[in-house]
Chains A and B, each alone.
Chain A
Amino acid sequence: MDDKLGKLIDEEGRRVDGRKFNELRPIKIEVGVLKNADGSAYIEHGGNKIVVAIYGPKETHPKFMALPDRAILRCRYHMAPYSTEERKPPQPSRREIELSKVIREALEPAVKLEEFPRTAIDVYIEVLQSDGGSRGAGITAASVALADAGIPMRDLVVGCAAGKVDGQIVLDLNDLEDKEGEADLPVAIMPNIGQITLLQMDGLLTIDEFKKALDLAIEGCRKIHQIQREALYRKYFGTSEAEGK
């Protein structure tokens, strides 16, 4: 492990898992994986394995939380105790509480909440195995699950991170790159509307590096958006988008 440090990108520009700077990890999305949920999706993004369920629109409990003019969106991002190298205690950590909030705010602009006054829509994101970029993968799967639940949406939402590793701006950091790298910039966008709905950053970047990383993350989101569309096509039309019906 130690002799790997400082060498996250080799002379030919290959990263620890063999990717180029602008290459995504393998991504697989499945729609409608849980019978009981109103909508659901499963995503594998690199080592991330995440299942998302949507319940609602439904009556709001507790009642005082209901809003007269729109639905409320509630979101729980949670990591299973066995999802990490070391066991993660099952109760939500401060990190999970913060991520639940920013993920909810990333999804909210896409959902037509005004069509369901006084109701609640619950989004449950369960990380079964975690790798770098789990919040982005969670958002990607959650918006597909919302679409699967038949909830009217303005756009899908896609999440993907960029960052800085060994002095280079790279796309879609894995666990090791996230931990040992210099900076991480998770982003979520609504690709058709062009709005950025999640942006966080930690680590050190110059302003130029930030702009470069933002562009790269948006490019990654657009590629993942195609995979989201394919997954929905497969579920609802039994065929891929390119083949048509």
Chain B
Amino acid sequence: MMISQRGYFIENLRKEQMLQLLAKGKRLDDRGLLDYRPLKIEVGVIEKAEGSAKVSLGDTQVIAGVKVEVDRPFPDTPDKGLLIVNAEVLPLASAYSEPGPPDEDAIELARVVDRGVRESEMIGLEKLVIEPGRYVYAVFVDVNVLNIDGNLFDATSYAVVAALATAKYRKYELTENGELKATDKYEKLPITTVPISITAFRIGDVILLDPNADEETLVEARLTFTFDGRGNLCAAQMGGSKGFSKDQILKIIEIAKLKAEEIGGLLRRQIGYG
């Protein structure tokens, strides 16, 4: 149970305890500051989706589904397929989640995950063209948060990447008179790399990774770096209302780079990529 569900007094006791532990570099669940909770990725959990993945990061649970459809290209990119990432926190995800259209948190979550996938050029969108200017494949990734227990940015990103990397879509072709026809062939999406997002959190002067919901109640600022799987940075996003010093940012890059290699290996193994 999250502390915010307990009374105000108990909540503050717990916060004080966590702060005292953090000052000694320790956490309530005995993890090191830079340790992730167990990451479990199951792919192909939804048969009707072209690709899907369920990710658990500790008690945070996220599910992503990929649907691929034929669509018209955007006028300014007639020779590229489409990629659309949407995220929603479902009302069943916590006592505080409510139904309704995505709020600013969900929109930010979706856009940051989208940026990582798009800017890393994970998917060769130029290969998802049936007829330039007329027919392209549109790849929709919808992510739902099922249970909130901290670090949604990373969990969501891993679910999206795992679902895309394992997706298979039905090929279409043009008949002689230019009509669109479905074939019986299925192909993997043109995946070029596996981007990995690592989010660092600041509580006072302490930098830690993968906080649970209790720890997140203490967080002052958040910084996500996404690496493109080839050693480059491809997206960054700061959040929270206290910011970072430049030295903290430079330290986080080094931490995130190493962590991205570790988590990237873990993720690729679990989805059988590369």
**Interface core residue of A190, A214, A218 (most chain B CB under 10 Å):** A214
CB-CB < 8 A to A201: which residues of B? 233, 235-237
- Residue in A106, A108, A210, A218 whose beta carbon sits within 8 Å of that of B253 in the complex: A210
The interface bits of chain A over 196-214 (1 if a CB of B lies within 8 angstroms of the residue's CB, else 0) are 1111111111110011001
Would A98 and B233 be within 8 Å (CB), given that A108-B241, A199-B249, A207-B253 are in contact?
A: no
Q: Are B228 and A109 in contact (CB under 8 A)?
A: no
> How far, in angstroms, from A190 to B231 measured CA to CA in the complex?
31
* Count of A-B residue pairs with CB < 8 Å: 93
CB-CB < 8 A to A109: which residues of B? 241-243
Q: Which residue of B lies closest to A200 (CB)?
A: B237
Q: Which residue of A lies closest to B248 (CB)?
A: A196
Q: Which residue of A lies closest to B86 (CB)?
A: A94
The interface bits of chain B over 241-255 (1 if a CB of A lies within 8 angstroms of the residue's CB, else 0) are 111111001100100
> How far, in angstroms, from A152 to B115 measured CA to CA in the complex?
36
Q: Are B233 and A204 in contact (CB under 8 A)?
A: yes
Number of interface residues of A (CB under 8 A): 32
Q: Check: B198 CB closer than 8 A to any chain A CB.
A: no
Interface residues of A in 218-234 (CB under 8 A from B): 218
Q: Are B111 and A196 in contact (CB under 8 A)?
A: no
CB-CB < 8 A to B246: which residues of A? 194, 196, 214, 218
> How far, in angstroms, from A97 to B111 measured CA to CA in the complex?
11
CB-CB < 8 A to B232: which residues of A? 204-206
Would A97 and B107 be within 8 Å (CB), given that A196-B249, A207-B257, A211-B250 are in contact?
A: yes
* A74 CB, nearest partner CB in chain B, Å: 11
Q: Which residue of B lies closest to A101 (CB)?
A: B104
* A48 CB, nearest partner CB in chain B, Å: 21
Q: Are A94 and B234 in contact (CB under 8 A)?
A: no
- Residue in B104, B118, B238 whose beta carbon sits within 8 Å of that of A199 in the complex: B238
Q: Check: B136 CB closer than 8 A to any chain A CB.
A: no
Q: Check: A100 CB closer than 8 A to any chain B CB.
A: yes
**Interface core residue of B228, B233, B234, B237 (most chain A CB under 10 Å):** B233
Q: Check: A35 CB closer than 8 A to any chain B CB.
A: no
> How far, in angstroms, from A24 to B94 measured CA to CA in the complex?
47
- Residue in A98, A202, A207, A211 whose beta carbon sits within 8 Å of that of B235 in the complex: A202
* B5 CB, nearest partner CB in chain A, Å: 19
Q: Which residue of B lies closest to A203 (CB)?
A: B119
**Interface core residue of B115, B228, B236, B238 (most chain A CB under 10 Å):** B238
Q: Check: A185 CB closer than 8 A to any chain B CB.
A: yes
> How far, in angstroms, from A208 to B2 measured CA to CA in the complex?
40
> How far, in angstroms, from A199 to B238 measured CA to CA in the complex?
5
> How far, in angstroms, from A194 to B244 measured CA to CA in the complex?
9
* B117 CB, nearest partner CB in chain A, Å: 11
> How far, in angstroms, from A87 to B235 measured CA to CA in the complex?
28
**Interface core residue of B110, B115, B243 (most chain A CB under 10 Å):** B243
Q: Which residue of A lies closest to B75 (CB)?
A: A86
Would A204 and B119 be within 8 Å (CB), given that A98-B107, A98-B108, A210-B233 are in contact?
A: yes
Q: Check: B240 CB closer than 8 A to any chain A CB.
A: yes
> How far, in angstroms, from A94 to B114 measured CA to CA in the complex?
12
> How far, in angstroms, from A107 to B111 measured CA to CA in the complex?
21
* A108 CB, nearest partner CB in chain B, Å: 4
**A and B contact pairs by CB, cutoff 8 A, 14 listed:** A97-B107, A97-B108, A98-B107, A101-B108, A105-B239, A196-B243, A196-B244, A200-B236, A200-B238, A201-B236, A204-B228, A204-B233, A205-B233, A206-B233
Residues in chain B within 8 A of chain A (CB atoms): 104-105, 107-108, 110-111, 115, 118-120, 223, 228, 231-246, 249-250, 253, 257
